[in-house]
Amino acid sequence: MKRPLEEINESALSAALDAIKHADALDDRKMLLEHLLSFMANHPSGKISGLARTFTIKTLYNDLAHPPATYIGPEYQFRAADGSGNNPDAPNLGKAGTPYARSVQGSNPLPRNQMPDAGLVFDTLLRRDKFNPHPQGLSALMFSFAALVIHSVFRSDHTPGRQHINMTSGYVDLAPLYGNDQDTQNKVRNKDGRGLLHPDVFAEDRLLLLPPPVCVLLVLFNRNHNYIARRLLEINERGTWKDPAHHHHVSHAQLSKQDEEIFQIARLCNCAWFAAVVFSDYFSAILGLVRKGSSWSLEPFDELRNEDHSVFERGRGNACSVEFNCLYRWHATTSVEDEEWITLQLKELFPDKTPEDITLKDFYSKEVSLTKSEPDLERWTFGNLQRETEGPNKGSFKDSDLAGWLQGATSHRAASFGARGTPAVMRLHEIMGIEANRAWGVCSLNDFRKFLGLKTYSSFLEWNPNREVADAAEKLYGHIDNLELYVGLQAEETKPLIEGAGLCPGYTISRAILSDAFALTRGDRFYTQDFTPYNLTAWGFADCQRDPDAYGFGSTLGRLFLRTLPNDYSKDSIYTWFPLIHPDSMEGYLKNLGKVDGYDAARPKQSEPATTVEGYVEVGQVLRSTDKYVPEYVERASEVLKGKGFFTASSNGVEEQKQFISALAPSPEAISAIGMYFHNKTKELIELHSFSLIGQNTCGVNIVRDVLKFVPLHWAATEIAGIPLKTKQHPHGVFTESQLFDMLGEIYQFVFLEVDLAYYMPIRQRVKEHVQELTHLIKGALGSAGSKLPFAGLIGTMSSLFGKKKNHNEIVKRLFEFGCSTEHVVNSILALLVGATVEMSLALTNVVNLLLHKEYDSEVTIAAAEKVNAKDLGSLTAYINEALRIDPPFAGAYRIAKQDETIESLNVKQGQRLFLHVAAANMNEDSFPNPHILDATRTPRERYLPKDGCFSVLGDELASTMMAQVLRAVLSLENVRRGPGQSGKLTRFSDAALPVLHYAYLNEKMLQSPWPTSMVVNYDVTQ
């Protein structure tokens, strides 16, 4: 049908072109649908109109899933203990205690009475004749983790007549940890209102008969659950939970309700961690990506659309099939050490029999007796480990014992797959597998390959070119079509070590495991439609994501080790980041990649945790004894900085700091002028970022995000470092305020604070890049000021001295006059840029937050009104000192003892690492009577402990003046007060994992950060 040219308007053409270019993300502002509807309305008949109508109806209908993929409400939000309800429309699909599925229609008869004896098959085709190390160098721990995955989804009932029942769910839901039914789940839970599991327990007793590293891995997921649960309660995103440790009058019903909520959310997050390990470390090893240094992963969870725009199925449930039960019999990979361990276990269980003599009847009888005599799961042990009987870790295993088993498994080589590779000690297990395969009526190997779309084998030699193996199989089975699935999978020729292959099992296994993995995970509603920030909370959702930028080529297992065993794994060890590969093999791969220098190949050594010091006298003496106790950050700074001058982390820092401050503020007038800059910049940013409330004489401003974060930054960047900021008013700057703050925050955190060891190496690399970029800019800004000019005439009037570019030039010239090198000057300016910005912003946030507290509002407001004059800032300075005593930016600092010493009750040894808990010492009743009361009249001032951060960078007088002027500007606003509701709260939480942080915050990625993000204040304005 032809349309006149004038009817084809520009808008319709633009919409059509956009639809062609962006089929999956149409720009609805181009009005394609409206143009289409208009066309149909104007041309109600005709073939093209009919096609358009059909297309429109199908597209609109296919926008949504039919039936809905999920529903809201607690019965759909969380996993059921038995796995039921994963598919709301087929709630029993994949439920524990339901029959196995069958995937393949068998077409070739395999009459059981004509099958060769299972023991004969093992002795002919499967029994190990010699140990062959795995071709990729996989470690024994790889197959310990595989055992955990396998036992999550397969648990055949051994009760006569019920062998077809799978007693676990069909989902990767950590059932070995949490149990397969509600009664078992209740046994592993603490139920004290915090959503915790009992320490180091798990639900699956079968694992006690496997090599100990399997149980150790499960214990780590127990600890990860408890870490997550504690963090969820600390953050308390929805504000509905009460910590039982601090609220003693919470009703039993409320505690039970919140315990269930926290437990279930933590379980969702922990299962997602488990899946992240599967799709990072596990799949990386299976596909050989780890050898290539690749962090890529084929994750199957995303929403996809079919060509007709309908939703490609996901989250519709899964049931494990008997064919895939046969697939995961990987006993051939058993290491020599695990073989020895299993042999000893069987000797203990059957002291009068050799492994070859143990019968199925013996095994089942022993299983019954062990189950009857099994102790309470809180007292289960394995690998001769003992639980601690007292102290804060009562009921837990020692970290070093757990790490010993894991690191041992990493250092043990797994065997290769293939025929005649299964240890003789596994004979009974293999016979049980073969007999189960026959009892279930499982298809032949060729039937299975046909089902997968693979070429069927025409001969035994094609199946396995090893003539001896092929001939033996042919004599047992007669024809290749008669080769049963279980044996055919285990004895098939193995895949060579090529790009894209790393597990190297038989060809059929190699293809089928990927199908099964995708069915297990893409079919799971809790990894797809219901994997949301609401169900897991914002922090939980962010925490459990696979991070392709993590160290170890995106390792998740390394992050788990460093979280749960932080003193036994190191931040750069091959054992930490590549535990599923033997260290010698991994070292070779890293050499090939040119990355070996970034890792330590040695087995990690245990480190001692820091000793926490809380006493006022002890903390004060250590802080003042700078000759006896050294900070860690001098060494930390040397990892990312070159040369001298970074005085905030220098062995000669005190003298260098005095020299820099004398150049920065050589007189009281200079200090006063800097203070006025802070006052004026604060008022400027408040005015710039304020918003009006409709119909009220009230304005609001996000005082933290838009003002306090950036006042010090503007001064240090533009006035001192010569780095122009990019703002709406000045669009040609180098960085936006947020970009520079994030860079400086990351440098400060790396050098002066604690860094989560799991992120240490990536952060260090980013900090190196930040430092390189900033020093380049600082050096470039030196300009002519970098030349050594005569000192005379440098000091002019204060107005010219602190002009925008003039101020920077004069300070630089003074530093050169002191004899500093260019490198020294650049590093000194960087030290100020880092040390006098982000931490001061945090300190200012704490002061404003405390002084706007309802108990202190009137007092502070009146004091500020009386002392608005810059000449009279003493009272505000006193308020700041007292506020930072009550709410310091950081809880404390670390020091290393250079010699033995006794301070009061504290006995210190040389080399001992101390955490000085300044926040606790600040609450000392003897030094500060009624310590929780903000009293700005406390005397003498010497009682206050030495301040760190911006006070040590700028000196007490200059730092106090800057902060007082900012506070004066904020409190000069008429009737300044908190914003309404949540907007007016400083959202933060205590972080037990990083003691140095007094409080932690969630950044825009919803991950833990030392830096505050938001707090709105309101103030009145006159029309």
> Parallel, antiparallel, or unpaired: how do β-strands 165-166 and 98-99 relate?
antiparallel
Q: State the pLDDT at residue 589.
A: 98
Instruction: Give the H or E element holding residue 1002.
Output: strand 1001-1002
Residue pLDDT, tens place only, 546-557: 999 999 999 999
Do 37 and 139 fall within a single domain?
no
Q: Decide if pLDDT at 969 tops 70.
A: yes
Please provide residue 230's backbone torsions phi and psi, each rounded to the nearest 5 degrees: -65, -40
User: Between these two residues, 350 and 788, which has the higher pLDDT value?
Assistant: 350
Do 366 and 319 fall within a single domain?
yes
DSSP letter string, 260-324: HHHHHHHHHHHHHHHHHHIIIIIHHHHTTGGGGT--------S--B-TTSPBPP-SS----BHHH
Residue ranges in 836-975 assigned as alpha helix (H): 838-851, 857-866, 874-886, 918-921, 950-954, 956-971
Specify the range with the lowest mean pLDDT, choosing from 235-244, 251-260, 872-881: 872-881
**Stretch 758-770: mean pLDDT, rounded?**
97
Question: Measuring CA to CA, which residue among 755, 747, 765 is closest to residue 830?
Answer: 747
Residue ending a domain, choose from 511, 539, 567? 539
DSSP letter string, 571-638: TTBHHHH-TTB-HHHHHHHHHHHT-GGGSB-SPPPP-PPPEEE--HHHHHHHHH-TTTEEETHHHHHH
Q: Decide if pLDDT at 865 tops 80.
A: no
Q: For residues 422 and 587, give the distance between their C-alpha atoms in angstroms, rounded to a whole number.
A: 28
Contact (CB, 8 A) for 981 and 991: no
Task: Please indicate whether residue 328 is annotated as part of the active site.
Answer: yes
CATH code for the domain in which residue 826 is found:
1.10.630.10
Do 658 and 767 fall within a single domain?
yes
**What is the total count of domains within the chain?**
3
Please provide residue 248's backbone torsions phi and psi, each rounded to the nearest 5 degrees: -95, 0
**Distance from the first to the final alpha carbon of the chain:** 64
Specify the range with the lowest mean pLDDT, choosing from 713-717, 906-910, 930-934: 930-934
Q: Does residue 457 lie within any of the structural domains?
A: yes
Q: State the pLDDT at residue 277.
A: 97
Q: For residues 53 and 63, give the distance between their C-alpha atoms in angstroms, rounded to a whole number.
A: 16
Q: Does residue 548 lie within any of the structural domains?
A: no
Confidence of residue 485 (pLDDT cuts 50, 70, 90): very high
Which among 100, 178, 328, 759 is annotated as catalytic? 328
Which positions ≥6 away from 362 have C-beta within 8 Å?
Answer: 350, 353
Which positions ≥6 away from 466 have C-beta within 8 Å?
Answer: 419, 493
Torsion 765-574-756-1005 (CA) sign: positive
Q: Does residue 574 lie within any of the structural domains?
A: no
Residue pLDDT, tens place only, 536-589: 999 999 999 999 999 999 999 999 999 999 999 999 999 999 999 999 999 999
Confidence of residue 107 (pLDDT cuts 50, 70, 90): very high
Residue ending a domain, choose from 39, 62, 85? 62
At 409, the amino acid letter reads A
The reply, when asked if residue 246 is annotated as ligand binding, is no
Which residue(s) pair with 422 in the sheet? 127
Task: Give 3-state DSSP helix, strand, coil % of the chain, rounded to 5.
Answer: 50, 5, 40
Confidence of residue 188 (pLDDT cuts 50, 70, 90): very high
Q: For residues 507 and 419, give the distance between their C-alpha atoms in angstroms, rounded to a whole number.
A: 13
Contact (CB, 8 A) for 487 and 305: no
Q: Does residue 504 lie within any of the structural domains?
A: yes
Token pair belonging to 355: 């492994």
Q: State the pLDDT at residue 309.
A: 80
Do 218 and 270 fall within a single domain?
yes
Q: Does residue 127 lie within any of the structural domains?
A: yes
Token pair belonging to 1003: 């950044």
User: Between these two residues, 645 and 803, which has the higher pLDDT value?
Assistant: 645
Specify the range with the lowest mean pLDDT, choosing from 62-66, 548-552, 866-870, 995-999: 866-870
The CA angle 702-707-709, to the nearest 5 degrees, is 105
Which residue(s) pair with 631 in the sheet? 895
Torsion 544-546-552-556 (CA) sign: positive
Q: Decide if pLDDT at 23 tops 80.
A: no
> Parallel, antiparallel, or unpaired: how do β-strands 735-736 and 725-726 relate?
parallel
Q: 273 is in which domain, residue-wise?
A: 98-539
Q: Does residue 686 lie within any of the structural domains?
A: yes
Contact (CB, 8 A) for 712 and 840: yes
Contact (CB, 8 A) for 406 and 561: yes
Please provide residue 1017's backbone torsions phi and psi, each rounded to the nearest 5 degrees: -120, 150
Do 51 and 102 fall within a single domain?
no
Do 56 and 120 fall within a single domain?
no
Q: Where are the beta strands (DSSP E) in 898-990?
A: 901-903, 906-908, 913-916, 977-978
Q: pTM, whole model, 2 decimals?
A: 0.93
Question: Please, is 229 exposed, middle or buried when counting C-beta atoms within 10 Å of its C-beta (0-12, 13-18, 19+)?
Answer: buried
Count of C-beta atoms within a 10 Å radius of residue 823: 14
**Stretch 686-704: mean pLDDT, rounded?**
96
Q: Does residue 770 lie within any of the structural domains?
A: yes
Do 104 and 195 fall within a single domain?
yes
Question: Measuring CA to CA, which residue among 412, 418, 411, 405 is closest to residue 330?
Answer: 418
Which residue(s) pair with 99 in the sheet? 165
The DSSP call for residue 124 is I
Do 295 and 339 fall within a single domain?
yes
Residues constituting the chain: 1023
Do 194 and 46 fall within a single domain?
no
Q: Does residue 83 lie within any of the structural domains?
A: no
Do 165 and 26 fall within a single domain?
no
Residue ending a domain, choose from 539, 557, 574? 539
> Parallel, antiparallel, or unpaired: how do β-strands 913-916 and 893-897 relate?
antiparallel
The DSSP call for residue 529 is T
Question: Please, is 28 exposed, middle or buried when counting C-beta atoms within 10 Å of its C-beta (0-12, 13-18, 19+)?
Answer: exposed
Confidence of residue 12 (pLDDT cuts 50, 70, 90): low
Do 102 and 56 fall within a single domain?
no
At 481, the amino acid letter reads D
Please provide residue 412's backbone torsions phi and psi, each rounded to the nearest 5 degrees: -100, 130
Confidence of residue 806 (pLDDT cuts 50, 70, 90): low
Q: State the pLDDT at residue 20.
A: 58
CATH code for the domain in which residue 148 is found:
1.10.640.10
Torsional class of 882: left (φ above 0), alpha (ψ -120 to 50), beta (otherwise): alpha
Q: For residues 487 and 505, give the distance between their C-alpha atoms in angstroms, rounded to a whole number.
A: 13
Averaged pLDDT score across all residues of the chain:
91
Q: State the pLDDT at residue 794.
A: 30
Rounded to the nearest 10 degrees, the angle between the axes of helix 822-835 and helix 804-817 is: 130
Contact (CB, 8 A) for 288 and 499: yes
Do 813 and 757 fall within a single domain?
yes
At 775, the amino acid letter reads T
Torsional class of 78: left (φ above 0), alpha (ψ -120 to 50), beta (otherwise): beta
